[in-house]
Structure 1
Amino acid sequence: MLNGRDPRIDFFRGLALIFIFWDHVPHNPLGQITLRNIGFSDAAEVFVFLAGYAAVLAYGKILQRDGYWIASLKILRRAWVLYVVHIFLLAMLMGIVFFANSHVETRDLVEEMGLTHFVTHPQQALTDELLLRFKPNLMDPLPLYIVLLAGLPLVLPLMLRNTWAVVAVSTTIYLLAPWMGWNLRAIADGVWYFNPVTWQLLFILGGAAALYSRQARPVDTRPLRRQPMFVAATLYVLMAGVLTLSWRWPQIHDALMPSVISDLIYPISKTDLSPLRLLHFLTLAYVTAKLLPGRDWTENWLAQHTCRMGRFSLEVFCLGVVLAPLADMINAMAGDALAMQLLTAVAGAALMGLLAMWLEFNKRLDQSLKAGVHAG
């Protein structure tokens, strides 16, 4: 039976949201400490994996309790809410970017944000927006989540019965997609930046991890250095970190990287979720889970605030999307001064945390009012 909410999932969802915000602000110094700088994967993989983890936990419990049709109805209702949020968020983002562009003379923020299609073909852009084909920069994760969640009713019952069969089919589709050219249409380069046909595997693996975590299994009590899988995963994470850091110095990278290996591993595609990216995220998640067992470490003040952001991930993500161009505008108007860049990065993350606090306060207030009504 599926039950309980794991605060570690909320923590890493919240951390991923902070990293996504920092990564979306150009020249942000705090963007140098996010996941994309220490390996092949980044916060997008964390977001999608944990979305699958949380979705299977939540809706799997509903399916077991209320049946398939109720669970499917709630999944599709949530997907519809996300779709409506996407439409309104895109409209708000365009307004903010046009406003910011009027205050920044040295750059064309409209072009940088991928909004040229709306300026040149506004009527077609509105149609493409409704069909999820018009996705400016910063907006890609939400349409991906909408599509993945909308497809969950097709696989959730099968996952609860035979998880590994679903994982096997998902993996087969993932491997065939780049070779067969499977992707959804979009404007600009013609395909989705996050290919749902490949990224679905990470969503499915998140759901499989949720089901696996609820199973009783023996605990490996050996020291970590004597666990071969942990050692191998750690070595891969370290190797990926060193290689990623070497990209900052192309001459050193080219001198140390044999052309045979370079031709084999590059390009490391984010669109199709390259196997190297997927493997890096999975090994990083495994190493992190081994190094941070239990839940006690989530009880400190900072972790609790991060967990709260993860519990309200949709609202916090949306705020991060609209804050990023505003932070970029303020930084540009200040001449990209380091102090201002740090201030906007920290202030933005703080505002995201305050929004989560406000949402939790309102949720608790509603619950107390309902309890009072029932008591009366």
Structure 2
Amino acid sequence: MTQGRDLRIDFFRGLALIFIFWDHVPHNPLAHFTVRNFGFSDAAEIFVFLAGYAAVLAYGKIARRDGWLVATVKILRRAWVLYVVHIFLLAMLMGIVFFANSHVETRDLVQEMGLHYFLSNPQQALVDELLLRFKPNLMDPLPLYILLLLGLPLVLPMLLRKAEYVVGLSVVLYMLAPWFQWNLAATDGGVWFFNPMAWQLLFILGGAAAIHGQRPLVPDARTLPRQPLFVAAAAYLLIAGLIALSWKWPTVHDAFMPRMLGEWLYPISKTNLSPARLLHFLALAYVIAKLLPNSGWTQNWLARQSCRMGRYSLEVFCLGVLLAPLADMLNALADDALAMQIFSALLGAGLMAVLAAWLDWNKRLNRPAHVAAA
């Protein structure tokens, strides 16, 4: 017997969207409570992994029911929608940042958001935007998702039959990418901040997890403390959390951090998805999956709001991107900085939840009567 819909996926997608929004508002005190403060990974890993999970879960069912060609057409259609959304979102983001910059005199928000390239090279910036090479701050996850989605039809048939083979090839590409410095070109001679050659591994692992989740459950009679893998993952999370917390006090970090461990650990590359980041996320996902089963806790009011945001992740993500510079502007103009920083962070998360609620209500309103009755 297989499991039904796992509401934890929607819940953590919604939570990741809130964390992404909070992490991208400068001087936001609530950003101290996001996952990046307690280990080596952050909300980006959650977003990409669950994107792969959701994509394979959805298009895998289509491929099994209607065939690979139909699934491919639907994937390409979705990628096209994301591409169009990316272009319009970037245009709206630039308008908001230019508006906010005209009201903030103490900082250059255009420079901080990485939009100076557009002012100095507007024509080339428009071309680079169409080629997914012009990616200001906050815009990196969407082009990555577009590219990973475009590659899904190439591996979907094998992923559905022999997922371990695809994961193995993905691991090889992940290991070779930093060694041979494989990445895609960006503006000003740079490269993609999220190297798709490395981050594809998380996407593939998410897809493999989706396939594994559809298999019959095999109960494990051992309690969690007696499961070696759980103990190892929990220990790694504890060590990583202590190291991450020590970064707030450099003298303490330098005093207690072993030199050999520091030479192996640093730098923790986000661009190439450093092994320390990858292992931290996998350990975090495994421990949470064991400690929080897919049961009634997802039915409380707050959890349901996060689940709803996760179901409409594209729309909510876009709103969060647009709200971040506006929240930054409000914080810069406020007299009581701390109060406004907390208020703008909570207001932004609330607006994202309201958007998800409206989209859900609108979807149910437009649902055919016989489907709604069923």
Give the TM-score normalised by the residue count of structure 1: 0.97
Match of 2:136 in 1: 136
1:123 maps to which residue?
123
Q: Give the aligned residue type for 2:155.
A: V
Aligned to 2:235: 235
Distance 1:146 1:335 in 2: 41
Alignment of 1:130-279 (within 5 A): 130-188=130-188, 190-279=190-279
Counterpart Cα distance in 1 of 2:336 and 2:315: 28
Check whether the contact 1:17–1:43 (CA below 8 A) recurs between aligned residues.
yes
Q: Distance in 2 between matches of 1:70 and 1:168?
A: 27
2:322 counterpart residue number: 322
Q: Deviations over 1:84-137 (max 9, x none)?
A: 000000000000000000000000000000000000000000000000000000
What letter matches 1:135 in structure 2? K
The match for 1:294 is 294
Query: Does the 8 Å contact 1:62/1:71 carry over to 2?
Result: yes
Q: Tell me whether 1:93 sits opposite 2:110 in the alignment.
A: no
CA–CA distance in 2 between the matches of 1:190 and 1:61? 38
- Which whole-Å deviations, capped at 9, do the CAs of 1:33-87 have from their partners, x for residues lacking one? 0010000000000000000000000000000000011000000000000000000
Tell me if the contact between 2:147 and 2:196 (Cα under 8 Å) persists in the aligned partners: yes
Query: Share of identical aligned residues, percent?
Result: 70
Equivalent in the alignment of 2:358: 358
Aligned residues: 374
3-state SS of paired residue (1:151): helix
Code of the residue aligned with 2:283 in structure 1: it is T
Gap regions ≥5 residues in structure 2: none
Alpha-carbon distance, 1:5 to partner? 2.8
Residues 189/286 of structure 1: CA separation in 2 closer, same or farther (3 Å cut): farther
What residue is the counterpart of 1:114 in the other structure? 114
Post-superposition shift, 1:295? 2.3
Instruction: Give the superposition deviation at 1:335.
Output: 4.5
* Alignment-derived partner of residue 35 in structure 1: 35
Structure 2 SS opposite 1:222 = coil
Q: Is the 8 A contact 1:2 1:60 kept in 2?
A: no
The one-letter amino acid of 2:6's match is: D
For normalisation by structure 2, the TM-score amounts to 0.97
Structure 1: stretches of 5+ with no match in the other structure: none
Per-residue CA deviations over 1:208-236 (Å, capped at 9, x if unaligned) read 00111111242112221111111110000
Letter in 1 for 2:330: I
Q: Is the contact between residue 2 and residue 216 of structure 2 (CA under 8 Å) also seen in structure 1?
A: no
Q: Go from structure 1 to structure 2 and tell me whether the alpha carbon gap of 1:329 and 1:236 turns closer, same or farther (over 3 Å shift).
A: same
Conservation of the 8 A alpha-carbon contact between 1:3 and 1:61: no
User: What secondary structure does 1:205 align onto?
Assistant: helix
Aligned to 1:103: 103
Aligned position for 2:55: 55
2:5 corresponds in structure 1 to: 5
Call closer, same or farther: CA 1:244–1:336 in 2, change over 3 Å: farther
Contact 1:36–1:43 (Cα < 8 Å) also in 2: yes
**Counterpart of 1:244 in 2: which secondary structure?**
helix
Q: Which amino acid aligns with 2:321?
A: V
Amino acid at match of 2:240: A
Partners of 2:64 and 2:75 in 1: how far apart? 14
Q: Is 274-283 or 5-14 further displaced after alignment?
A: 5-14
Supply the distance in 1 between the matched residues of 2:314 and 2:117 (Cα, whole angstroms).
26
* Partners of 2:2 and 2:215 within 8 A in 1: no
- Residues 6 and 294, structure 2, Cα contact 8 Å, conserved in 1: no
Task: Give CA-to-partner distance per residue, 1:150-172, whole Å, 9 cap, x none.
Answer: 10000000101110000000000
The reply to whether residue 304 of structure 1 matches residue 304 of structure 2 is yes
1:336 to partner: Cα distance: 6.3
CA distance in 1, matches of 2:243, 2:195: 25
